């Protein structure tokens, strides 16, 4: 039996999936590049510069995913009267803002 870490599921549009997967693929490539730089003894500042770029790309991914979440999941739950979603969103925002 396959274990799943996620309790909830969300169906995403093909456009949303494509956009977010493209971002993740670029980030994955950046991280592989950083590893390659490190393995090839690149200068520390060059590696740190690329690390900052990868971090910024991951933050941009998170912002896009959060915006999509608010527009869809949160909005739908509020319309249905499910205010627990607001608490979930606030807890998530607190984690992201650390």
pLDDT along the chain (98 residues), means of 10: 61 93 98 98 98 97 95 93 92 91
Q: Would you state the pLDDT for residue 6?
A: 60
Structural domains present in the chain: 24-96 (1.20.58.1000)
Helix H or strand E segment including 85: helix 84-96
Q: How far is CA 10 from the centre of its chain?
A: 15
Whether the Cβ atoms of residue 83 and residue 66 lie closer than 8 Å to each other: no
Q: Would you state the pLDDT for residue 52?
A: 98
Q: Would you state the pLDDT for residue 1?
A: 38
pTM for this model (two decimals): 0.82
* DSSP secondary structure string for all residues of 21-84: HHHHHHHHHHHHHHHHHHHTT--HHHHHHHHHHHHHHHHHHHHHHHHHHIIIIIHHHHHTT-TH
Query: Can you read off the two tokens belonging to residue 20?
Result: 């977010």
């Amino acid at each position: 039996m396959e274990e799943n870490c996620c309790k909830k599921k969300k169906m995403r549009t093909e456009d949303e999936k494509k956009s977010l997967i493209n971002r993740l693929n670029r980030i994955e490539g950046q991280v592989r590049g950083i590893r390659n730089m490190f393995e090839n003894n690149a200068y520390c500042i060059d590696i740190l510069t690329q690390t900052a770029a990868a971090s910024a790309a991951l933050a941009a991914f998170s912002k896009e995913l959060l915006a999509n979440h608010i527009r869809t999941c949160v909005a739908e739950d509020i319309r249905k009267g499910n205010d627990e979603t607001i608490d979930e969103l606030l807890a998530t925002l607190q984690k992201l803002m650390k």
